[in-house]
Amino acid sequence: MIKITFPDNSVREYQDGTTVYEVADSISSALARETLSATVNGELRDIRYPITTDATVNLHKFDDPQGRLAFWHTTSHVMAQAVKRLYPEIKLTIGPAIEQGFYYDFDAPESITPDMLEKIEAEMKKIISENPKIIMYTLPREEAIRKEEEAGEPYKVELINDLPEDAEISFYEQGEFFDLCAGPHIGRISAIKAFKLTSIAGAYWRGDEHNKMLTRIYGISYPKKEMLEEYLNMLEEAKKRDHRKLGKELDLYSIMDEGPGFPFFHPKGMIIRNELENFWRKEHTKRGYSEVRTPLILDAELWKRSGHWDHYKDNMYSTIIDGKEFCIKPMNCPGGMLLYNRKLTSYKDLPIRMAELGLVHRHEKSGALHGLMRVRNFTQDDAHIFMTDEQVTDEIIGVIDFIDYMYGIFGFEYMVELSTRPEDSMGTDEQWEMATNGLIQALNKKGLDYKVNEGDGAFYGPKIDFHLKDCLGRTWQCGTIQLDFQLPERFDLTYIGADNQKHRPIMLHRVIYGSIERFIGILTEQFAGAFPLWLAPVQVEVITVNEAFEDYAKQVAKDLEEKDIRVETDFRNEKLGYKIREAQLQKIPYMLVIGGSEVEANTVNVRSRKEGDLGEMDIDDVIVRLLKEISTKAF
């Protein structure tokens, strides 16, 4: 007999070899139907997985990310089966679940076009109605290779050859279709009640631009039709809010063909950016940070010393200066190390909080670029905090509180993840344990709910990641807190302690916006381009009914400008309705309309983007209203 412990700490006994499905069914048949995968002793497993030792088991439904992963991965196999039925000459590559849905990459002798998706969907419906049994099995390496060679699947053979010698080579089979796959998969294909193939894109085999271009088909699936309808409605809303579309329409920013991945900020976009940076500086000053600036290009030896060269050089740009290799910085941290080391530090000086709006460059593959969300140069709102052992928990809590305040200003909810030691890491087990426990202690002290993201820490230390949730329910990783024992050691950072001896400081890396460019993209979509007044590039549009009232309108605009309110004027000889509609399309928060009655009464007619027509108001009252809304950063 084996003992299984559930998340509520209850324990049950089962026969050795009982499967995950049987465990769920022993609790209730309804739970068994809804269970899509399980975490067994920290490992994600298929529902067919036999449990042979005492274990902790967490069963996953569609509500859980691990459950959705199995659901979407199974649907990718249904799609691949449909494609192979319709187009047998097409070669299979990979088909994983992703954050929203799934994709499968195909090597097709002829292009797969959007009009073919409907035909593939029809075949998928047929397969789902057939409900073929899903079978999982393993094969020895040579037999697995022979099986794929006989099927004419060269990409699968390549994948098998690249697996470690001792790797378990598993397959999933459904009807006539089989695929090399580690799983997990759901119990029944008929559980897929609704799906949609959403788009087609190109993708290089294994993400390498030197390899063949494949055809990638994206899709989404759900256990209920209404869930799919809700998702498709969200997609339509997301298209309207797309920051690339709005950036062009509102003349904020753009990506030029001459600089793929290198964003251009237009005058109006720079206003948003400057407001965010000014707010950032003001709040950091309040919290005892000093702003610094480190060089864009530094000697390659520095990056070797920091460890970035060994772990990150494929993403770095380099150049030769005076016969030596220099690198354009992908991170700000090594420059911060040099600044700390410029003078002797006492324990009385700690903590030292150095903040930097640092421009960094990273070589992203062209296929990964996406507007402002994924670029090749961006500004990190970095800070590096140097502290004693005793100060660690308080400093982490201080950063958590700071991040919470900043995100609250923009109305963002967020989720928290603790990312632990990756395989490719520096440092000792003891250092990693100490750093991880430091983060956990701070999270627990704050009472924050968080999930553990195993193996996704930075190469030099564990981290806390903050994932923003926008108005469409999408999440964006922005803020991060990283505890680092490695760089202080590599750069021999020290301070003089109370005992008059040298000690090693501990360092905290952190960002709040993350990337200013990306944060602006997120804000553009969050507000659908209708930025709150304090961020709006144009805060007020002064509009005349006709040219006769231009002199008074100019004085109104001047009064606003003297109070640092951003104003545009529209004195054109156009119909009033046309001018108002144009201002609305530009999402300007306030319009002040001036006609004969306003001139006579020394007032303006106020139209609010969110409240509509507010009627006639004295200009001084309007200014008081606007300044209050700006100063409070109201939505």
Strands (E), 277-389: 290-291, 297-299, 317-321, 324-328, 352-361, 377-387
Mean pLDDT value across residues 402-415: 94
584 belongs to the catalytic site: no
pLDDT above 70 covers a percentage of the chain that reads 100
How does residue 475 score in pLDDT terms, banded at 50, 70 and 90? confident
Whether residue 114 is predicted with pLDDT greater than 90 in this model: the reply is no
> Which of the two residues, 13 and 427, has the higher pLDDT score?
13
pLDDT at 167: 83
pLDDT at 104: 97
382 belongs to the catalytic site: yes
Same domain assignment for residues 71 and 53: no
Is 592 a member of any domain? yes
pLDDT tens string 94-112: 999 998 899 999 999 888 8
The residue from 45, 73, 77, 362 that is catalytic is: 362
> Which of the two residues, 630 and 433, has the higher pLDDT score?
630
The number of domains in the chain is 4
Sequence-distant (6+) residues with CB within 8 A of 308 are 316, 330, 331, 334
> Any idea which of 231-245, 468-482, 598-612 has the lowest mean pLDDT?
468-482
333 belongs to the catalytic site: yes
β 540-544/590-594 pair status: parallel
pLDDT at 21: 94
Whether residue 287 is predicted with pLDDT greater than 90 in this model: the reply is yes
Same domain assignment for residues 341 and 482: yes
Long-range contacts, stretch 140-148, CB < 8 angstroms, 24+ apart: 140/169, 141/165, 141/169, 144/169, 144/171, 144/180, 147/171, 147/178, 148/180
Two structure tokens written together for 300: 């390659």
> Any idea which of 263-272, 390-399, 413-422, 447-456 has the lowest mean pLDDT?
447-456
pLDDT at 471: 80
How does residue 474 score in pLDDT terms, banded at 50, 70 and 90? confident
Is 301 a member of any domain? no
The CATH number covering residue 603 comes to: 3.40.50.800
pLDDT at 341: 95
Helix (H) or strand (E) holding 138: strand 134-139
pLDDT at 208: 81
Whether residue 549 is predicted with pLDDT greater than 90 in this model: the reply is yes
Whether residue 459 is predicted with pLDDT greater than 80 in this model: the reply is no
Is 246 a member of any domain? no
Mean pLDDT value across residues 386-405: 93
81 belongs to the catalytic site: no
Whether residue 387 is predicted with pLDDT greater than 90 in this model: the reply is yes
Q: What are residue 382's DSSP bridge partners?
A: 356, 511
The residue from 156, 273, 361, 509 that is catalytic is: 509
The CATH number covering residue 9 comes to: 3.10.20.30
Among 236, 240, 263, CA closest to 524? 240
Is 201 a member of any domain? yes
Whether residue 215 is predicted with pLDDT greater than 90 in this model: the reply is yes
The residue from 333, 353, 518, 607 that is catalytic is: 333
The CATH number covering residue 169 comes to: 3.30.980.10
Same domain assignment for residues 174 and 272: no
How does residue 90 score in pLDDT terms, banded at 50, 70 and 90? very high
pLDDT at 632: 96
Measured distance CA(574)–CA(294) in Å, rounded: 51
Residue type, 71: F
Long-range contacts, stretch 551-558, CB < 8 angstroms, 24+ apart: 552/594, 552/598, 552/599, 553/594, 556/592, 556/594, 556/604, 556/619
C-alpha distance from residue 453 to each of 421, 462, 514 (Å): 9, 10, 19
Is 312 a member of any domain? no
Q: Which of 13, 38, 61 is the last residue of a domain?
A: 61
pLDDT at 554: 96
Same domain assignment for residues 55 and 71: no
Question: Would you call 602 helix, strand, or coil by DSSP?
Answer: coil
Same domain assignment for residues 214 and 289: no
Sequence-distant (6+) residues with CB within 8 A of 278 are none
Among 128, 249, 189, CA closest to 524? 249
The residue from 84, 384, 421, 607 that is catalytic is: 384
pLDDT at 210: 86
Is 302 a member of any domain? no
Same domain assignment for residues 102 and 199: yes
How does residue 547 score in pLDDT terms, banded at 50, 70 and 90? confident
The residue from 105, 381, 382, 465 that is catalytic is: 382
Mean pLDDT value across residues 517-522: 96
Is 607 a member of any domain? yes
Same domain assignment for residues 285 and 265: yes
pLDDT at 310: 84
Same domain assignment for residues 271 and 399: yes
pLDDT tens string 601-612: 999 999 999 999
587 belongs to the catalytic site: no
Measured distance CA(262)–CA(249) in Å, rounded: 19
Q: Which of 492, 526, 560 is the last residue of a domain?
A: 526
Among 163, 171, 161, 155, CA closest to 205? 155
The residue from 380, 482, 526, 586 that is catalytic is: 380
Helix (H) or strand (E) holding 128: helix 117-130
Domain that holds residue 49: 2-61
Mean pLDDT over all residues of the chain?
A: 93
Two structure tokens written together for 489: 């050691």
Whether residue 485 is predicted with pLDDT greater than 90 in this model: the reply is no
Helical packing angle, 267-286 and 516-526, nearest 10°:
110
Residue type, 241: R
Same domain assignment for residues 492 and 565: no
pLDDT tens string 47-68: 999 999 999 999 999 999 999 9
Is 310 a member of any domain? no
Same domain assignment for residues 233 and 265: no
